[in-house]
Amino acid sequence: MQQFLKEWLKIRNMHLFFPYLIASICALLFVVILIQRAIKCKKDGTPFINFKNYHFFKPGYDKVKLWGSLVLFILYIIALPELHFAWASVIFIFLFNVLFDMKPGKLFDIKSILISAVIAFVGSWGVWYLFYQVFNITLP
Amino acid sequence: MILNLGLALLGTAVGIIFGAIPGMTATMAVAVFLPMTYAFQLVPALYLLLGLYVGGISGGLIPAILINVPGTPSSVCTGFDGYPMARRGESERALKVGITASFLGGMISLIVLALLTPPLAKMAIKFSAIEKFLIILFAMTVIAALSKGSMTKGVFSGFLGVLLSLVGELSMNNKMRMVPSFLSDELRSGFQLLPLLIGLFAICQMFQEAEKGMQSNNLDEGVTVEGAKKFSFSDFKGQTVNVIRSSLLGTFMGILPGVGGSAASLIAYSQTKSFSKHPELMGKGAPEGLIASESSNNGLTGGALVPLLSLGIPGDATTAVLIGAFLLQGIQVGPLFIGQHPDIWNQILLALFACNILMFIVMFFPIKLISQVVKVRSARMYPVILLMCIVGAYATRSGVMFDVWCLLLFGIVGYVMNKIGLPTAPFLIGFILGGDLEKYFIEAVKGNN
């Protein structure tokens, strides 16, 4: 054992020993979780893999808001280096506000859109001013 | 000092808002505001962050009492008695009982923090690499064992965090591991703590709320803040033992790494019920249940700082985020911290003291105004929070876009982990402690050889 550790902890191998050790522990724990699940399923008389009754998302989840927020987030990150931080933020924070405040059957609520625009404009320029001008923090 | 107190006031007020909106937590508040501390030195930054911590934990009582939805997990038992009190027209009384209990719990935990941390740190200085390695391993086991869900999943999640922390270059031999060649520049120093924790605790929460449709909260009919029965400090008559017992339970639960406020609150509540002269009234609007829950969860705040400042091990997810503030300033928390930085240690105690007093003032007197916070719509809050998260992630290494992508990545990772029942707190703590775990392991084995 000592020889084995000595060999592994030679300077050229040192960086690999601990990741291998932790990865092995993770693999072992994963197997234990599977075994525990198998035992539980056997006890309860339920199938080990039950795709029919498995719901990753909540039943009736808000598809538009969840997937919309993910797509907007990706587009926002892409747009940040292309546009000025504050302008990219005004556009996307406005879109996030509209998306999150959207009510079924009432897509174009003028009051809500106006509030979204104000929050997006004030929020984006406010954050830009606070962090870039006051705190001197690098922004995209 | 005025700047420090101003930041503590800002932190406390914002923390209360975060705590009072169901779905937003103290951890999230601290994570989102961490980037603001780039502009400050450590002491003012700590005033802000501790204000957010104390405010965030305390604010959770408002929705628990008014709408029976705990604002934070640590207020889970507050609604058991607080909501029935509100239903019978005693909202103001319930809120003020809760705020006073929170204040007392915070103060008692502060005393424990001040008395317990220095001797613990003194003892920990004598630890060798083997002992340090074993303490981290022990802490991770406790975190995992007491995290929600199954113990095995908690341990698994913790070790996944450790594995992730090993990505990048090992400083001992300057060799890279687990890094794809096309990301060798971005991942040379591994994944950054800030995008990881903001992603896990803020972006993940945004996705979860988006899935639920960003619902808003409304007060039930019959619940108003004004009520017939007013609060009086005589409500605490005969509750001295309850306050001290619950606060100490909360504090000691906080000292155990990873236990969290919900467990502290549940244990204190059940203990109070066991010792109560009228257990049949608990759950039906008895102030003693409310006192137990609130004094224990605020007791946690000081308790969770004990292992952080004496051993360098975070007591809960929020203190894990606080480590980020110390790291940003290049200060290592651990056994040597108090000896090397006595001024910062004293300021931490002072900050916690000030934040508890400010929390009491900000919540107790304008109670009618503060209670309106539950009506703040998360649909309007999340876009601004997202903006702050982007700034925080981007500024981590003064302008690396890869860190913003990591923010999204860890938001999705946190979302998926919650879905499959893997707790995120052990993952974060494993990530924070992973580097030290490896260092002490190598030192211990080499020493033995």
Nearest neighbour of A89 by CB, restricted to B153, B178, B387: B387
| B96 exposure class (CB count in 10 Å sphere: 0-12, 13-18, 19+) | buried
In this prediction, residue B163 carries a pLDDT of 94
The residues, ordered by sequence, that sit 6+ positions from B79 with a Cβ below 8 Å of its Cβ are B64, B65, B68, B69, B70
A65 and B211: CB-CB below 8 Å?
yes
Phi first, then psi: what are they for B320, rounded to 5°?
-65, -35
Question: What value does the mean pLDDT take over residues B81-103?
Answer: 88
Q: Which residues of A touch B382 (CB under 8 A)?
A: 96, 100
Q: Report if pTM > 0.90.
A: no
A14 and B438: CB-CB below 8 Å?
no
Mutate to test the interface with A, among B173, B175, B387 (most CBs of A within 10 A): B387
Mutate to test the interface with B, among A36, A66, A74, A103 (most CBs of B within 10 A): A66
Q: Give residue B106's pLDDT band: very low, low, confident or very high (50, 70, 90).
A: very high
- In the predicted model, is pLDDT for residue B273 greater than 50? yes
Q: Which residues of A touch B36 (CB under 8 A)?
A: 131, 135
The CA angle B263-B78-B151, to the nearest 5 degrees, is 20
Contact B86, B66 (CB under 8 A): yes
Residue with tokens 């987030």: A73
- The enclosing H or E element of B162 equals helix B151-165
For B269, the token pair is 């509540």
Q: Give residue B24's pLDDT band: very low, low, confident or very high (50, 70, 90).
A: confident
B210 and A81: CB-CB below 8 Å?
no
B214 and A26: CB-CB below 8 Å?
no
For chain B, what is the mean pLDDT? 85
Residue with tokens 């929170």: B102
Single out the residue of B97, B141, B129, B112 nearest to residue B288, CA to CA.
B97
Mutate to test the interface with B, among A3, A26, A67, A119 (most CBs of B within 10 A): A26
B449 and A58: CB-CB below 8 Å?
no
What is d(CA B216, CA B218) in angstroms, rounded to the nearest whole number? 7
B404 and A80: CB-CB below 8 Å?
yes
Distance from CA of A50 to the nearest CA of B (A): 14
Residue with tokens 């001013």: A129
B391 and A139: CB-CB below 8 Å?
yes
Q: Which residues of B touch A90 (CB under 8 A)?
A: none
- In the predicted model, is pLDDT for residue B221 greater than 70? no
A33 and B156: CB-CB below 8 Å?
yes
Mutate to test the interface with B, among A6, A17, A18, A139 (most CBs of B within 10 A): A18
Above pLDDT 70, what percent of chain A? Answer: 91
In this prediction, residue A7 carries a pLDDT of 67
In this prediction, residue B426 carries a pLDDT of 84
Which positions 379-398 of B are in contact with A (Cβ < 8 Å)? 379-380, 382-384, 386-388, 390-391, 394-395, 398
B380 and A6: CB-CB below 8 Å?
no
Q: Which residue has the higher pLDDT, B135 or B11?
A: B11
The residues, ordered by sequence, that sit 6+ positions from B416 with a Cβ below 8 Å of its Cβ are none
B36 and A135: CB-CB below 8 Å?
yes
Low-confidence winner among A71-75, A104-108, B61-65, B264-268 (lowest mean pLDDT): A104-108
What is d(CA B100, CA B250) in angstroms, rounded to the nearest whole number? 16
Contact B92, B230 (CB under 8 A): yes
Write the pLDDT tens digit of every residue in A24-83.
999 999 999 999 888 988 888 888 777 777 788 888 889 999 999 999 999 999 999 888
Distance from CA of A55 to the nearest CA of B (A): 10
Contact B37, B49 (CB under 8 A): yes
Distance from CA of A83 to the nearest CA of B (A): 14
In this prediction, residue B272 carries a pLDDT of 87
Contact B405, A77 (CB under 8 A): yes
* Beta bridge pairs of residue B170: B175
Low-confidence winner among B92-106, B295-309, B372-386 (lowest mean pLDDT): B372-386
- The amino acid present at A84, given as its one-letter code, is H
Size of interface A-B (CB pairs under 8 A): 163
What is d(CA A101, CA A44) in angstroms, rounded to the nearest whole number? 43
For B423, the token pair is 């707790």
In this prediction, residue A70 carries a pLDDT of 96
Phi first, then psi: what are they for B356, rounded to 5°?
-65, -40
For B217, the token pair is 């909260």
DSSP B36-104: GGGGS-HHHHHHHHHHHHHHHHHHTHHHHHHTS--SSGGGTTHHHHHHHHHHTT-HHHHHHHHHHHHHH
Residue with tokens 């199954």: B150
In this prediction, residue A66 carries a pLDDT of 94
Collapsed DSSP state (helix, strand, coil) of residue B205: helix
Question: What value does the mean pLDDT take over residues B254-260?
Answer: 71
B383 and A18: CB-CB below 8 Å?
no
What is d(CA B350, CA A105) in angstroms, rounded to the nearest whole number? 53
Write the pLDDT tens digit of every residue in B275-333.
888 888 888 888 888 999 899 988 888 888 888 888 888 877 788 888 878 877 778 88
Single out the residue of B231, B227, B185, B188 nearest to residue B93, CA to CA.
B231
B214 and A100: CB-CB below 8 Å?
yes
Nearest neighbour of A62 by CB, restricted to B210, B388, B437: B210
Distance from CA of B379 to the nearest CA of A (A): 5
Write the pLDDT tens digit of every residue in B405-421.
999 999 999 999 999 88
Q: Which residue has the higher pLDDT, B257 or B289?
A: B289
What is d(CA B339, CA B337) in angstroms, rounded to the nearest whole number? 6
Q: What share of chain A is helix, strand, coil (3-state, %, to 5)?
A: 70, 0, 25
B380 and A115: CB-CB below 8 Å?
yes
Task: Indicate the pairing of strand B168-170 with strand B175-177.
Answer: antiparallel
B38 and A65: CB-CB below 8 Å?
no
For B232, the token pair is 């009086």
